[in-house]
C-alpha cells in the first residue's frame, strides 16, 4: 500500500473526529544506516494530530535517528516521509525541531534571546528587519518557559535545564503545528522537567502535535498518550496504554528490563496510570 | 614634506595591509567558531602551489586564474588527505599536516623554477608579500588623493584588495543569519531549510577567495595570521557575535597599522639602521595581541558559571 492510501485509511480511522487532514507525520519503510551498520530498518509510522507522542526504545534503538531521518537530517537509504501530507522540503515552517542539547557548542557567542530569535528565521528571511514586534515575540517565548530574566545571559553561563528551556523557547517562537524534541528531559533538573511538560501539554491543548524521543519508562504514561516503540525495527505503535504492555516492552528491550521496571506497568492493559 | 613622503611610501601599503587583514578576518570569524580555523591555515598553504601552477599554465598573475588554481589545489589536497588517511591509516590531523606541508613545499620548488627570468613571482614574495614595494610613486602629497591622474597610478593591489574586502563585508551582511544559525546549530539550521552544506562550502570558498587576493599583495604569513588571530582575539573580548566580528576588524587594522609602523621604524628606534619585514611584523603584532587577550581578556574563561558541562 502506498503512503497516500495509508493516509486515507488513517483519515477513515479517525472515527467521530472532524476532518483532520493528513497526519502530522507519516513514514513508510524508513531505513537508515551509518556505514554498514543499520540504524533503522523499515519503520512505518503514522502519528495522529493533537497528541503527545513518545518515541521509546533502548539506547541505540534508533529513536533520535528516526526523528532526524523523518526531517531529512539523517540520510535515509529507503522509505518515504510526509509531514502534513507533504515532503519535508515543502513543510518547512509547519514543524519545529529541538535537537539534543549536547549537539551544540554552548560556548558560542550568543545570548538566550538571540538563540530564541533564531526561531523567527523563516519569517525574517535573509535580510528582513528584526523589529520590536519580533523581539516581543521572542521574549514572550522565553517568558513561557520561565526564562525571561535570562534573556541577555550568554548561553554557556546557563545551567543544563535552563539551556533546554531556551531551546524549547526557540521552538515556541517558530509557532509550528508539529513539535519534535530529541531527549528534552536528558540531564535537566526536576523543576525544568515539570516546566517543559507543562509547556508541551499547553501546546497539545492548542491542538498542536508533540513528538518526543523519550527513554524514561517510569514517566512515559504520565507525560504521553501515544507511543512508537522502536528497536531498530518498529515494535509497536498506538495509544500508550495499548503499547506499553509487558510483552511489547520485553520485545523492545529484550532481556534488559528488570522485574522492578516491568512491575511498574503491571499486567498488560492493567491498573497502572 | 613628512606628509608627502608618507603618502608616497606608506599610505598605499598601510591601506592594502589593513584591507587584506580585514578581508581575511571576516570569514575567519566563522571558521574559528566552527572549529575549522585549521582550514584557513590549510587554504593558505595549498593556495601557493595552486597559484604557481595557474601562473605556469596561463603566464598571468590576474586574479581569476589564480583563484581557480587555488581552488583546484584545494580539491586535490582534499583527495590526497583522504588517501593518506585511508591507505596510510594515519589520523586525520596528521594526514592534513603532511599533505599541506608537502604541497606547500612543492609550491616553493615550483615557484623557484617558475620565477627564473620573471621578477613578479618569487619565494620571498610569496611568503612575505611585497607590502613595502607597493608605493605610490606619482603622488605629491595629500592633494594627490583628489587628482584623478595620480589616483590612476595607485598600485593595482589597492583597488583589488578594497573590492575583495568589500565583497567579504557584503557577503557577511547578506548571509549573516544562515551563517550564524548553521554555525551554532547545524541540525536546527537544516530543519529550517537552510542549505547548510552550501553555506559551509560558500564560507570556505569565500575564505579561499580572500586568501588568494591577499596572498598576492601581502604574502601567506599575513593571510594565515589574519584568518585566525583577530577573530580569536575578538572572541576573548566579547560574548556577542556581532561585536566579535566588528572587534576582529578593529584588531586586524590595528595589527596591520602597528605592524607596518614597527617594521619600518622599530629598528631605527632601537638604534638599528635597517627595517624588518612588514608582513612578519604585522603577523607578530596580531599574535602578541592574541596573547595579551588570552591573559587579560574579559571573556577568556568559559565555564566559570552554570553547571559543569558533563555532556
A206: pLDDT strictly greater than 70: yes
Backbone angles phi, psi at B148, to 5 degrees: -55, -40
**Domains: count for chain A:** 1
Q: CA–CA separation, B282 vs A247, rounded Å?
A: 71
* Res B2: pLDDT: 61
Chain B residues near residue A170 by CB distance under 8 angstroms: 188
* A30 belongs to a structural domain: no
Q: Are A23 and A7 in contact (CB under 8 A)?
A: yes
Chain A residues near residue B238 by CB distance under 8 angstroms: 109
* A62 belongs to a structural domain: no
B183: pLDDT strictly greater than 70: yes
The whole domain housing A153 covers 105-175
Candidates A71, A108, A187; nearest CB to B311: A187
Q: CA–CA separation, B129 vs B257, rounded Å?
A: 16
B266: pLDDT strictly greater than 50: yes
A221: pLDDT strictly greater than 80: yes
Backbone angles phi, psi at A28, to 5 degrees: -140, 125
Q: Cβ contact (<8 Å) for B181 and A121? A: yes
Q: What is the mean pLDDT of residues B262-284?
A: 85
What is chain B's mean pLDDT, rounded? Answer: 84
Give the range among A244-248, B112-116, B278-282 with minimum mean pLDDT. Answer: B112-116
Cell numbers representing residue B123 in the block: 619565494
Q: What is the mean pLDDT of residues A180-198?
A: 95
- What is A190-216 written as a DSSP string? HHHHHHHHHHHHHHHHTT-EEEEEE--
Confidence of residue A8 (pLDDT cuts 50, 70, 90): low
Q: Which of A121, A167, A171 to mutate to test the interface with B (most CBs of B within 10 A)?
A: A121
Q: CA–CA separation, A157 vs B306, rounded Å?
A: 5
Chain B residues near residue A124 by CB distance under 8 angstroms: 177
Q: CA–CA separation, B223 vs B214, rounded Å?
A: 7
A16: pLDDT strictly greater than 50: no
- What domains lie within chain B, and their CATH numbers? 2-142+154-296 (1.10.3470.10)
* A11 belongs to a structural domain: no
| Residue found under cell 504492555 | A245
Q: What is the mean pLDDT of residues B173-182?
A: 97
Confidence of residue B253 (pLDDT cuts 50, 70, 90): very high
- What is B251-310 written as a DSSP string? HHHHHHHHHHHHHHHHHHHTT-SS---HHHHHHHHHHHHHHHHHHH-TT--SSSSSS---
To the nearest 10 degrees (0 to 180), the angle between helices A160-173 and A132-144 is 130
* A154 belongs to a structural domain: yes
Q: Cβ contact (<8 Å) for A97 and B240? A: no
Confidence of residue B260 (pLDDT cuts 50, 70, 90): very high
Give the range among A100-114, A251-265, B115-129 with minimum mean pLDDT. Answer: B115-129
Say how many Å lie between the first and final Cα of chain B, rounded. 64
Chain A residues near residue B185 by CB distance under 8 angstroms: 99, 103-104, 118
Confidence of residue A71 (pLDDT cuts 50, 70, 90): very high
* Res B108: pLDDT: 83
Cell numbers representing residue A248 in the block: 511489547
* Res A69: pLDDT: 95
* Res B174: pLDDT: 97
Q: Cβ contact (<8 Å) for A118 and B184? A: yes
Q: CB-based burial of residue B200 (10 Å sphere; 0-12 exposed, 13-18 middle, 19+ buried)?
A: middle
3-state secondary structure (DSSP) of residue B86: helix
B44 or B110, which is more confident?
Answer: B110
Confidence of residue B99 (pLDDT cuts 50, 70, 90): confident
- Residue A254's H or E segment, with its range, is none
* A64 belongs to a structural domain: no
Candidates A71, A103, A109; nearest CB to B244: A109
Which among A202, A127, A213 has a CA at the least distance from the CA of A172? A202
- Who contacts A37 (Cβ-Cβ below 8 Å, separation ≥6)? none
pLDDT single digits (tens) A237-271: 999 999 888 788 888 887 777 766 666 665 444 33
Q: CA–CA separation, B232 vs B247, rounded Å?
A: 10
pLDDT single digits (tens) B208-246: 888 888 877 788 888 889 999 999 999 999 999 999 999
Confidence of residue A84 (pLDDT cuts 50, 70, 90): very high
Q: CA–CA separation, A184 vs A180, rounded Å?
A: 10
The residues with which A27 forms a beta bridge, in sequence order, are A45, A81
Q: Are B286 and B255 in contact (CB under 8 A)?
A: yes
Q: What is the mean pLDDT of residues A74-101?
A: 94
DSSP, res B131? G
Chain A residues near residue B302 by CB distance under 8 angstroms: 107, 156
Q: Which of A76, A109, A112 to mutate to test the interface with B (most CBs of B within 10 A)?
A: A109
- Who contacts A125 (Cβ-Cβ below 8 Å, separation ≥6)? none
Confidence of residue B311 (pLDDT cuts 50, 70, 90): very low
* Res A219: pLDDT: 92
The residues with which A209 forms a beta bridge, in sequence order, are A178
Closest alpha carbon within chain B to A180: B191
Q: Cβ contact (<8 Å) for B190 and A73? A: yes
% residues pLDDT > 90 (chain B): 38
Q: How many CA atoms lie within 13 A of B256 on its CB side?
A: 30
Confidence of residue B122 (pLDDT cuts 50, 70, 90): low
Q: Cβ contact (<8 Å) for B184 and A115? A: yes
What is chain A's mean pLDDT, rounded? Answer: 88
Backbone angles phi, psi at A237, to 5 degrees: -150, 140
pLDDT single digits (tens) B32-85: 999 888 777 777 788 788 888 888 888 776 767 877 887 788 778 878 887 887
* A232 belongs to a structural domain: no
Q: Are A63 and A57 in contact (CB under 8 A)?
A: yes
Q: Cβ contact (<8 Å) for B241 and A109? A: yes
Q: Cβ contact (<8 Å) for B193 and A107? A: no
Calculate the dihedral angle through the C-alpha atoms of A43, A46, A49, A50, rounding to the nearest 10 degrees.
-50
Chain A residues near residue B306 by CB distance under 8 angstroms: 156-160, 162
B128: pLDDT strictly greater than 80: no
Q: Cβ contact (<8 Å) for B175 and A126? A: yes
Q: What is the mean pLDDT of residues A153-173?
A: 96
Collect all residues from A whose CB is shorter than 8 A from any CB in B.
68, 71-73, 89, 92, 95-99, 101-111, 114-115, 118, 121-122, 124, 126-127, 154, 156-160, 162, 170, 186-187
A29: pLDDT strictly greater than 60: yes
pLDDT single digits (tens) A31-45: 999 878 899 999 999
Q: Are A169 and A141 in contact (CB under 8 A)?
A: yes
Which among A14, A12, A40 has a CA at the least distance from the CA of A27? A40
Candidates A103, A157, A187; nearest CB to B306: A157
Candidates B175, B192, B310; nearest CB to A122: B192
Q: What is the mean pLDDT of residues A92-121?
A: 96
* Res B39: pLDDT: 73
* A115 belongs to a structural domain: yes
Q: What is the mean pLDDT of residues A63-71?
A: 95
A262 or B198, which is more confident?
Answer: B198
Chain B residues near residue A122 by CB distance under 8 angstroms: 192-193
Candidates A73, A95, A156; nearest CB to B302: A156
Q: Which of B191, B193, B298 to mutate to test the interface with A (most CBs of A within 10 A)?
A: B191
Report ipTM for this prediction. 0.88
A22: pLDDT strictly greater than 60: yes
Closest approach of B306 to chain A, Cα-based (Å):
5
- What is A52-104 written as a DSSP string? EEEEE--TTSSHHHHHHHHTTSS-EEEEEEEBTTB-GGG-BTTEEEE--GGGS
* A248 belongs to a structural domain: no
- Residue B111's H or E segment, with its range, is helix B92-114
Q: Which of B181, B185, B236 to mutate to test the interface with A (most CBs of A within 10 A)?
A: B185
Q: Cβ contact (<8 Å) for A101 and B181? A: no
State the maximum Cα–Cα separation within chain B, in Å, rounded to a whole number.
65
Amino acid at each position: 500500500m502506498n503512503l497516500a492510501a495509508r493516509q486515507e485509511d488513517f483519515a477513515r480511522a479517525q472515527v467521530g473526529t472532524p476532518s483532520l487532514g493528513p497526519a502530522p507525520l507519516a513514514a513508510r519503510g524508513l531505513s537508515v544506516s551509518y556505514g554498514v551498520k543499520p540504524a533503522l530498518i523499515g519503520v512505518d509510522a503514522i502519528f495522529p494530530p493533537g497528541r503527545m507522542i513518545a518515541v521509546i526504545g533502548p539506547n541505540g534503538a534508533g529513536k533520535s535517528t528516526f526523528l532526524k531521518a523523518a526531517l531529512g537530517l539523517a540520510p535515509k537509504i529507503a522509505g518515504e516521509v510526509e509531514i502534513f501530507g507533504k515532503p519535508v522540503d515543502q513543510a518547512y515552517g509547519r514543524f519545529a525541531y529541538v535537537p539534543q542539547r549536547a549537539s551544540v557548542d554552548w560556548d558560542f557567542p550568543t545570548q538566550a534571546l538571540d538563540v530564541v530569535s533564531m526561531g523567527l528565521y523563516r519569517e525574517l528571511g535573509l535580510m528582513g528587519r528584526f523589529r520590536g514586534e519580533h523581539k516581543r515575540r521572542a521574549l514572550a517565548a522565553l517568558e513561557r518557559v520561565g526564562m525571561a530574566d535570562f534573556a541577555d545571559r550568554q548561553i554557556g553561563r546557563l545551567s543544563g535545564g535552563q539551556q533546554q528551556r531556551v531551546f524549547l523557547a526557540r521552538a515556541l517562537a517558530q509557532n509550528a503545528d508539529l513539535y519534535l524534541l530529541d531527549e528534552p528531559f536528558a540531564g535537566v533538573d526536576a523543576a525544568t522537567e515539570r516546566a517543559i511538560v507543562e509547556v508541551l501539554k499547553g501546546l497539545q491543548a492548542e491542538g498542536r502535535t508533540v513528538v518526543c524521543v523519550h527513554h524514561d519508562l517510569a514517566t512515559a504514561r504520565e507525560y504521553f498518550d501515544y507511543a512508537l516503540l522502536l528497536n531498530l525495527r518498529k515494535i509497536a505503535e498506538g495509544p500508550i496504554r495499548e503499547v506499553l504492555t509487558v510483552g511489547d516492552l520485553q520485545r523492545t528491550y529484550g532481556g534488559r528490563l528488570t522485574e522492578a521496571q516491568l512491575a511498574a506497568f503491571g499486567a498488560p492493559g492493567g491498573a497502572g496510570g | 614634506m613628512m606628509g608627502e613622503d608618507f603618502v608616497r611610501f606608506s599610505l598605499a601599503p598601510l591601506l592594502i595591509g589593513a584591507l587584506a587583514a580585514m578581508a581575511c578576518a571576516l570569514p575567519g570569524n566563522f571558521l574559528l567558531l566552527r572549529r575549522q580555523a585549521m582550514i584557513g591555515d590549510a587554504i593558505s598553504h595549498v593556495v601557493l602551489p595552486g597559484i604557481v601552477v595557474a601562473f605556469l599554465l596561463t603566464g598571468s598573475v590576474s586574479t581569476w586564474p589564480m583563484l581557480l588554481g587555488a581552488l583546484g589545489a584545494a580539491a586535490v589536497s582534499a583527495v590526497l588527505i583522504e588517501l593518506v588517511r585511508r591507505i596510510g591509516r594515519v589520523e586525520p590531523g596528521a594526514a592534513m599536516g603532511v599533505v599541506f606541508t608537502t604541497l606547500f613545499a612543492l609550491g616553493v620548488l615550483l615557484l623557484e623554477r617558475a620565477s627564473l627570468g620573471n621578477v613578479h613571482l618569487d619565494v620571498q614574495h610569496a611568503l612575505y608579500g611585497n607590502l613595502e614595494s607597493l608605493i605610490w610613486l606619482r603622488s605629491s602629497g595629500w592633494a594627490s588623493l583628489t587628482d584623478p591622474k595620480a589616483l590612476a597610478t595607485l598600485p593595482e593591489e589597492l583597488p583589488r584588495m578594497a573590492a575583495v574586502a568589500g565583497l567579504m563585508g557584503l557577503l557577511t551582511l547578506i548571509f549573516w543569519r544562515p551563517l550564524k544559525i548553521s554555525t551554532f546549530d547545524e541540525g536546527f539550521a537544516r530543519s529550517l531549510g537552510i542549505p547548510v552544506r552550501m553555506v559551509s562550502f560558500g564560507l570556505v570558498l569565500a575564505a579561499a577567495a580572500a586568501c588568494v587576493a591577499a596572498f598576492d599583495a601581502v604574502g601567506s604569513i599575513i593571510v594565515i595570521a589574519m584568518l585566525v588571530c583577530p577573530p580569536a582575539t575578538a572572541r576573548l573580548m566579547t560574548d556577542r557575535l556581532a561585536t566579535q566580528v566588528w572587534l576582529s576588524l578593529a584588531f586586524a587594522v590595528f595589527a596591520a597599522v602597528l605592524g607596518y609602523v614597527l617594521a619600518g621604524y622599530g629598528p631605527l628606534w632601537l638604534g638599528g639602521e635597517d627595517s624588518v619585514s612588514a608582513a612578519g611584523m604585522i603577523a607578530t603584532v596580531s599574535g602578541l595581541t592574541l596573547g595579551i587577550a588570552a591573559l587579560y581578556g574579559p571573556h577568556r574563561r568559559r565555564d566559570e558559571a552554570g553547571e559543569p558541562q558533563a555532556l
